[in-house]
Amino acid sequence: MGKEDIYLSRAGYNKMIEELSYLKTVRKKELSLAIGTARELGDLKENADYHAAKEAQAMNEKRIAELQNKITHSRILELENIPEGQALIGATVKLINVNTKDELQYTLVSGEEADFATGKISVDSPVGQGLLGHKENDTVEIKVPAGIIKYKIIKISRE
């Protein structure tokens, strides 16, 4: 990821810390036990359980390193330091699709916290990019793979 800062909400930062703790303690022990058990089964060259456990261990170590790097380069967004009424990272933006009249609500977050199912979209996504910097009552046209979508920003809030 490089030396770039990663902007996270307090909840997103805490979630990363919890995952790192789980991987370094609980998951490491589970994998160590699985490797030990598989080792007891005999010939390691043809032992699928052993190789699967070793691969899982390597993936766990890789994820630990990724999380440690992200945590090291993360900056926690303190919402009180972000201007009100503007679509910036950390803002929740309520929109209306000008054509369909459908109402949507998205919270603008970093790619690390993006979760479309919960309405958290990355500021790097086409919609996130299209909303950045705009204010309430602005109408924005956003180019997405399916074409151009026109939204009117109804409300911007911080939670």
Could you read off the pLDDT of 51-110 as tens digits, one per residue?
999 999 999 999 999 999 999 999 887 766 667 789 988 899 999 999 999 999 999 998
Q: Which residues contact 32 (CB under 8 A, 6 or more apart)?
A: 57
CA 141 to centroid of chain Cα atoms: 25
pLDDT, one tens digit per residue, over 98-118 is 999 999 999 999 888 999 999
Mark which of 76, 106, 125 sits at the end of a domain.
76
Give strand pairing partners of 109: 122
Task: Let me know whether 94 and 148 are in one domain.
Answer: yes
Specify if 38 maps to a domain. yes
Taking 60 as the threshold, does the pLDDT of residue 123 lie above it? yes
Q: Are 113 and 120 in contact (CB under 8 A)?
A: yes
Give the CATH number for residue 132. 3.10.50.30
Pairing of strands 120-122, 6-8: unpaired
